[in-house]
């Protein structure tokens, strides 16, 4: 049975109203990533970082999955082999769209992590510098998201999936952040067919066998239909 590995990025959630990072008007054009997405930024100004993620948590909780999230859930349900969704997104829109199994390599807005003891728990809607860790009681709560300079989660499992996949798709990601941007090379080494689906060519577009450009809500359901009908 063919295993499909799908890597998603901010572009798949764009039509659900969540901002991307590097597009015109993107999140990193408004907030320098050094300030809000690095351990050094958090050490310098934890109040700013908590406010940034509190706002994103509220926004993500109010967002609804779009046709692209739903199409991938349908593929997971109807494909006779395994479909592994690896997302760089910290929202829960794949799950809200019906996906069963999602690997969140950059963590989730729904999670809290104790910077002192490493305990993880469900994040309250609003976290601040006084939020105590339920395990060690120290006020060292941080969002359970991976910042620049930190190791993404579940890398061993992801590389195992890539080594065994027959199809690899990257959806809505600019191909500028590693290690995710290099997953296509792992898939190629495994002999997989590779497809990029994005609004515009990514930084690693030349590595893919096939490209489909347009809004995710249109091109992803179309690709899923073709796969399930044996046309892709």
- Single out the segment in contact with ligand OAD by CB under 6 A; choices: 3-11, 42-50, 92-100, 109-117: 3-11
With CB under 6 A as the contact rule, the residue among 4, 6, 7, 14 that binds ligand OAD is 14
Binding mask 39-78 for ligand OAD (x = CB under 6 A): ----------------------------------------
Tell me whether residue 25 or residue 191 sits nearer to ligand OAD (CB atom).
25
SS3 8: strand
Report whether 25 belongs to an annotated binding site. Answer: yes
CB of 107 to ligand OAD, least distance (A): 8
Inter-residue long-range contacts of 180-189, CB under 8 Å, 24+ positions, other chains counted: 180/7, 180/9, 180/86, 180/88, 180/105, 180/152, 183/5, 183/7, 183/86, 183/158, 184/208, 186/159, 186/162, 187/5, 187/162, 189/163
Which residue, among 139, 125, 216, has the nearest Cα to 170 in the 3D structure?
216
Catalytic positions are 106
Q: Which residues contact 149 (CB under 8 A, 6 or more apart)?
A: 38, 39, 40
Q: How many residues bind ligand OAD (CB under 6 A)?
A: 27
Structure tokens at 91: 């929202």
Q: How far apart are CA 220 and CA 76, in angstroms?
A: 13
CB of 217 to ligand OAD, least distance (A): 7
Q: How far apart are CA 11 and CA 88, in angstroms?
A: 10
- Single out the segment in contact with ligand OAD by CB under 6 A; choices: 46-54, 110-118, 124-132, 172-180: 172-180
CB of 189 to ligand OAD, least distance (A): 22
- Single out the segment in contact with ligand OAD by CB under 6 A; choices: 20-28, 74-82, 118-126, 185-193: 20-28
Q: How far apart are CA 222 and CA 227, in angstroms?
A: 9
202 binds ligand OAD (CB under 6 A): yes
Tell me which residues touch ligand OAD (CB under 6 A): 9-11, 14-15, 20-23, 26, 33, 37, 88, 106, 146, 148, 172-174, 176-177, 198-200, 202, 215-216
């Amino acid at each position: 049975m063919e295993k499909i590995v799908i890597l998603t990025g901010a572009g798949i959630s764009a039509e659900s109203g969540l901002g991307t990072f590097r597009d015109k008007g993107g999140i990193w054009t408004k907030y320098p990533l050094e300030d809000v997405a690095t351990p050094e930024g958090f050490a310098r100004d934890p109040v700013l970082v908590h406010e940034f993620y509190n706002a994103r948590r509220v926004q993500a909780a109010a967002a609804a999955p779009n046709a692209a999230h739903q199409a991938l859930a349908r593929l997971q349900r109807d494909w006779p082999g395994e479909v592994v969704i690896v997302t760089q997104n910290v929202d829960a829109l794949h799950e809200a769209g019906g996906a069963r199994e999602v690997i969140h390599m950059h963590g989730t807005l729904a999670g809290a992590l104790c910077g002192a003891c490493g305990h993880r728990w469900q994040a309250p809607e609003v976290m601040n510098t006084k939020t105590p860790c339920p395990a060690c009681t120290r006020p060292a709560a941080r969002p359970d998201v991976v910042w620049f300079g930190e190791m993404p989660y579940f890398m061993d499992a992801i590389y195992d999936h890539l080594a065994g996949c027959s199809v690899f798709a990257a959806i809505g990601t600019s191909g500028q952040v590693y290690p995710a941007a290099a997953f296509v090379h792992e898939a190629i080494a495994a002999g997989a067919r590779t497809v990029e689906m994005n609004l515009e060519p990514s930084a690693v577009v030349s590595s893919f066998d096939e490209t489909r450009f347009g809004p995710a809500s249109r091109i992803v359901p179309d690709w899923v239909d073709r796969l399930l009908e044996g046309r892709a």
